[in-house]
Amino acid sequence: MNYKGIPLLSLVAAAGGIMTDTKQTTQRLPPWSLWRPRTGRPRHGWQPRHPGAVIAAIKAIHTLIWFSIEACMVYLLSAGFARRSDRRAAVAAAVVGGECLIFAASGFRCPLTQLTDSLGTGSGEVTDIFLPEWFAHNLPAIHVPLLILAAFLNGRNLRQQRKRRSSYANG
């Protein structure tokens, strides 16, 4: 048997079935197969099978990222108040600055919030971090003064260190 010049047996074999003469029997396709027909709601783009679990994982990861960035922020402030701006403070400033750049590049909205919204939480219905909702929504307003204070304190420390070095060099 041929279809447009191609033996029907090779067409069926390519589609994952087995053909014997005029009778076709198909094998059961594994769940991960690309040829397996999908059931349920139509999917546009990548959609997880269990969005609640994925959203909880994103919230947990986001919370861990937030805590690490906050640790860098606390270190920047403590180094600024203690008048010891060092390499660790520079690394912490790079982490906080990188986070600020990512936040600004995303239109002053966290990319992980956009990801949870794309998974079906709706626009701003669920915060994407394990923090009290009022606190999560006010994080930018809380952090701007802290960022300015950390920049001022560490800038002051660096200027004083530069003055000391130049006075030692001049003798």
pLDDT in tens, 81-132: 999 989 999 999 999 999 999 989 988 888 888 777 777 666 554 567 788 8
88 and 27 fall within a common domain: no
Which residues constitute the domain of residue 89?
53-170
67 and 132 fall within a common domain: yes
85 and 19 fall within a common domain: no
> Would you say residue 48 lies in a domain?
no
pLDDT score, position 6? 56
20 and 57 fall within a common domain: no
> Would you say residue 127 lies in a domain?
yes
84 and 8 fall within a common domain: no
pLDDT score, position 110? 83
> Would you say residue 44 lies in a domain?
no
Q: Across all residues in the chain, what is the average pLDDT?
A: 78
31 and 109 fall within a common domain: no
80 and 115 fall within a common domain: yes
> Would you say residue 97 lies in a domain?
yes
pLDDT score, position 19? 45
Q: Model confidence at 21, in pLDDT bands (50, 70, 90)?
A: very low
- The residue among 102 and 45 whose pLDDT is bigger is 102
112 and 154 fall within a common domain: yes
Query: What pTM does this model have?
Result: 0.65
Residues 6+ positions from 8 with CB-CB distance below 8 Å:
1, 2, 19
pLDDT score, position 165? 86
pLDDT at 150 > cutoff 80? yes
> Would you say residue 43 lies in a domain?
no
130 and 98 fall within a common domain: yes
**Nearest partner of 21 among 39, 42, 38, 7, judged by Cα:** 7
- The residue among 167 and 126 whose pLDDT is bigger is 167
Looking at the structure of the chain, the number of domains it has is: 2
115 and 64 fall within a common domain: yes
Side chain identity at residue 79, one-letter code: A
pLDDT score, position 117? 77
pLDDT (average), residues 54-73: 91
Highest mean pLDDT among 17-26, 119-128, 141-150: 141-150
